Amino acid sequence: MAPKQTKAEKKIAYDHKLCELLDEFNQILVVAADNVGSNQLQNIRRGLRGDSVVLMGKNTMMKRTVRLHSEKTGNKAFLNLIPLLVGNVGLIFTKGDLKEVSEEVAKYKVGAPARVGLVAPIDVVVPPGNTGLDPSQTSFFQVLNIPTKINKGTVEIITPVELIKKHDKVGSSEAALLAKLGIRPFSYGLVVLTVYDNGSVFNPEVLDLTEDDLMGRFAAGVSMVTSLALAISFPTLAAAPHMFINAYKNVLAIAVATDYSYPHADKVKEILKDPSKYVVAAATVAAADSGSAPAAAKEEEKEEPKEESDEDMGFSLFD
């Protein structure tokens, strides 16, 4: 039988293990472990076994190890973990997909009763309906101002009642009533607080972003850059097409308002004098797009590509 380790030996072994994990893994989930039991934690360890390791410990010990290991290796990125080690937290080291690991952790939640003095993580609403309790139990409902009636010898709640609000402490009357009704309103498990990825620290909500969300954010950013560039007349790759179009519109407006003209402006002037020509041209283009567009596309594929002249570009704009 192996001799029992002393406290000093346990600390040395823990320090060695944490240093090995820091060197081996580049991704870490910082999780809150409030109200998580040992059996529940063991189930989580088994569920993540393979590419992830769950490590719990005292914050002071973890902070000391991280700080000393950062100084020893010269990797200052480890220091970003120290401010995150606050409260009852643990570390999940992983090589897998962060989103998948986070979803796997969320599966291991266990229902729990409302204990006296516990801070409610959610709103607790008692639904209407027959409680199955005899009329002698109405005192619980009266204390909590819950409207009831006697139906077939049992107490029945008339309307839904918000019994406990989020972040409020559970009182003795609320806890006793929920216990009598057999309601376990709370569920507890490891909750991901922060994500550490190769020195970067970010909110776990980032893991829920999809490719469509990223494309939408990127498009919004490009739109803002374009708007700013146009407002201050600063040429950028995103704003250049708009600048050329706006400049051409100004030239065209001057040509229409004055006697100065050029071939492209002549077509616009003709349309302004006789709008019916625009209606005919638009109908012709619509018919070509709906009927002969595929055939025209095939003919263009057969022809060798050629550079468009200014006149061709002008006609494509106004035909």
pLDDT at residue 249 is higher than 50: yes
Is the domain defined by 7-109+189-207 classed in CATH 1.10.3720.10? no
Candidate from 33-37, 90-94, 297-301, 309-313 with smallest mean pLDDT: 309-313
pLDDT, tens only, 116-163 = 888 888 888 888 888 888 888 888 788 878 888 888 888 888 888 888
Q: Where are the beta strands (DSSP E) in the chain?
A: 27-32, 52-55, 89-94, 110-112, 124-126, 129-130, 148-151, 154-157, 161-164, 186-188, 191-197, 200-202
Q: How many helices (H) and strands (E) does the chain have?
A: 12, 12
Task: List the structure tokens of 64.
Answer: 């000391």
pLDDT at residue 280 is higher than 80: no
Task: List the structure tokens of 231.
Answer: 């407002």
Long-range contacts of 160-166 (CB under 8 A, 24+ apart): 160/125, 160/126, 160/127, 160/128, 161/125, 161/126, 162/123, 162/124, 162/125, 163/124, 163/125, 163/126, 164/114, 164/120, 164/123, 164/124, 165/120, 165/123, 166/120, 166/121, 166/122, 166/123
pLDDT at 9: 86
User: Mean pLDDT throughout 188-214?
Assistant: 84
Q: Per this entry, what is the length of the chain? A: 319
User: Mean pLDDT throughout 248-262?
Assistant: 83
Task: List the structure tokens of 74.
Answer: 């010269």
pLDDT at 289: 64
pTM: 0.60
- The whole-angstrom distance between residue 257's C-alpha and the CA centroid of its chain comes to 53
Task: List the structure tokens of 62.
Answer: 């973890």
pLDDT at 2: 57
pLDDT at residue 312 is higher than 60: no
pLDDT, tens only, 59-76 = 999 999 999 999 999 989
**What is the Cβ-side half-sphere exposure of residue 120, based on CA atoms within 13 angstroms?**
19
pLDDT at residue 246 is higher than 70: yes
pLDDT at residue 318 is higher than 70: no
pLDDT at 290: 66
Which single residue is written with the structure tokens 């018919």? 287
Domain boundaries, the chain: 7-109+189-207, 118-185, 211-284
Q: Predicted confidence band at 313 (pLDDT cuts at 50, 70, 90)?
A: very low
pLDDT at residue 19 is higher than 90: yes
Q: Predicted confidence band at 307 (pLDDT cuts at 50, 70, 90)?
A: very low
CATH number, domain 118-185, options 3.40.50.150, 3.90.105.20, 3.40.50.300, 3.40.640.10: 3.90.105.20
Q: Identical fold at 7-109+189-207 and 118-185?
A: no
Q: Predicted confidence band at 181 (pLDDT cuts at 50, 70, 90)?
A: confident
What residues contact residue 85 under an 8 Å CB cut-off, 6+ apart? 30, 59, 62, 63, 66
pLDDT at 145: 83
What type of residue sits at position 278? Y
**Max Cα-Cα span within the chain:** 107
Q: Which residue has better confidence, 217 or 54?
A: 54
